[in-house]
């Protein structure tokens, strides 16, 4: 089966979720990448490692414009005769995937967590629904299919291979949206939706001035910080850190939650995490039911101890 994977490029680099989407595409069939921007030909060829046989790059587009990128992807579908189009389920994928599907008259599945089941001539994709509390198995009834893949659901492909890189410049016209300003988070840690390690805290921390111990632990791990809804609502932490049903849903490898009781709405945003560690003074906190590891104790005492233990662990492993 011929697969086309859209990979977003930011500041001349492919985004991590896009590389994971290539891996996912490779599990389905022969994979061509469509991308844009100023990444070097060497970097684009290196997408072969994730499973791309060919990379089409449009050099005249440098930012995310939903109308232009939709036309670009549709032109690449024509060029490659791809039957399945894969994007990452991230902010860009959400803006473009459904547009591409509507343009092609293709059925669209978002939040895919596994490769399509093609037994009995079907095409059924397992997806996250009810904020991660259940899965839906969705059949796509059209010849062309658009899938948005949820990052960190499957292992990433790695092979000794380089992709063939070709310039691709269809007419994409202009789009109606102009980007005036871009404010990206500073620092080297991954943004929350991509983070593999997350340290999160809630009202149990008693005030924004106490977040130092949360950040210390996150720094020692190389983790990204997050928070519960009440903490974002009262302004202790920025909104973009709010994980949960009405914030963002994440699925890191490790989620450490301190001073968060674990309301059902919070769990909905984090229950896709591979490993959950809960630290709470209340042994009855509902979060312990969803946890893999629990510490009944005061975050003010436990977090600094964990930070020390991580530092010791890192020192002995180097």
Partner 1 sequence: MKLLVCISKAPDTTAKIAFTDGNTKFDENGVQFIVNPYDEWYALVRALELTEANGGTVTTITVGTNSDDPTIRKALAIGATDAVRIDAVPKDAYYVANQIASYAKIHGYDIVMTGKETINYNGAQVGAMIAEILDQPFVSLATKLDLQENTATLERDVSGGVEIVEVSTPFVLSAAKGMSEQRIPNMRGIMAARTKPLQVIEPVASEELTSVVSYSMPDSKAACKYVDAENAEELIHLLHTEAKVI
Instruction: Return the residues of window 67-106 that contact partner 1 according to CB under 8 A.
Output: 67, 70, 90-92, 94-99, 101-103, 105-106
Nearer to partner 1, 43 or 298 (CB): 298
The distance of closest approach from Cβ of residue 166 to partner 1 in the complex, given in angstroms and rounded to an integer, is: 26
The distance of closest approach from Cβ of residue 307 to partner 1 in the complex, given in angstroms and rounded to an integer, is: 9
Nearer to partner 1, 67 or 161 (CB): 67
Binding mask 21-60 for partner 1 (x = CB under 8 A): ----------------------------------------
110 CA to centre of own chain? 12
Nearer to partner 1, 170 or 286 (CB): 286
Tokens standing for residue 83: 């039957």
Spell out the residues 6+ positions from residue 213 whose beta carbon is closer than 8 angstroms to its own. Answer: 299, 300, 303, 304, 307
Residues numbered 231 to 260 that lie near partner 1 (CB under 8 A) are: 239-240, 242, 245-247, 249, 253-254
Q: Are 34 and 73 in contact (CB under 8 A)?
A: yes
What whole-number distance in Å separates Cα of residue 103 and Cα of residue 125?
21
Helix (H, G, I), strand (E, B) or coil at 191: coil
The distance of closest approach from Cβ of residue 190 to partner 1 in the complex, given in angstroms and rounded to an integer, is: 8
Q: What is the 3-state secondary structure (H, E, C) of 210-226?
A: HCHHHHHHHHHHCCEEE
> Does 228 contact partner 1 by CB under 8 A?
no
Residues numbered 153 to 212 that lie near partner 1 (CB under 8 A) are: 175-185, 191, 193-194, 196-197
What whole-number distance in Å separates Cα of residue 287 and Cα of residue 276?
9
């Amino acid at each position: 089966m011929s697969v086309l994977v859209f990979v977003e490029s930011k500041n001349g680099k492919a985004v991590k979720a896009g590389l994971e989407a290539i891996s996912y595409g490779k599990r389905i069939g022969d994979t061509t990448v469509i991308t844009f921007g100023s990444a070097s030909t060497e970097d684009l060829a290196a997408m072969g490692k994730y499973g791309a046989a060919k990379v089409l790059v449009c050099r005249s587009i440098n930012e995310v414009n939903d109308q232009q990128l939709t036309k670009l992807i549709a032109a690449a579908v024509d060029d490659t005769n791809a039957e399945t189009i894969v994007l990452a389920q991230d902010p860009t994928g959400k803006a473009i995937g459904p547009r591409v599907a509507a343009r092609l008259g293709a059925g669209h599945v978002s939040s895919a967590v596994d490769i399509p089941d093609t037994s009995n001539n079907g095409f059924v994709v397992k997806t996250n629904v009810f904020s991660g509390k259940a899965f839906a198995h969705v059949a796509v009834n059209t010849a062309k299919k658009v899938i948005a893949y949820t990052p960190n659901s499957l292992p990433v492909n790695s092979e000794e291979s380089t992709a063939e890189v070709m310039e691709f410049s269809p007419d994409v016209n202009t789009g109606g949206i102009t980007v005036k300003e871009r404010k990206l988070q500073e620092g080297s840690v991954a943004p929350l939706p991509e983070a593999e390690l997350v340290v999160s805290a809630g009202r149990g921390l008693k005030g924004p001035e106490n977040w130092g111990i949360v950040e210390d632990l996150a720094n020692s791990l190389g983790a990204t910080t997050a928070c519960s809804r009440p903490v974002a609502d009262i302004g202790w932490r920025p909104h973009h850190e709010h994980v949960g049903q009405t914030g963002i849903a994440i699925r890191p490898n490790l989620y450490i939650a301190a001073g968060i009781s674990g309301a059902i709405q919070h769990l909905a945003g984090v229950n896709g995490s591979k490993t959950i560690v809960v630290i709470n003074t209340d042994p009855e906190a509902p979060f312990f039911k969803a946890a893999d590891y629990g510490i009944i104790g005061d975050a003010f005492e436990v977090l600094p101890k964990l930070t020390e233990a991580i530092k010791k662990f890192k020192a002995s492993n180097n």
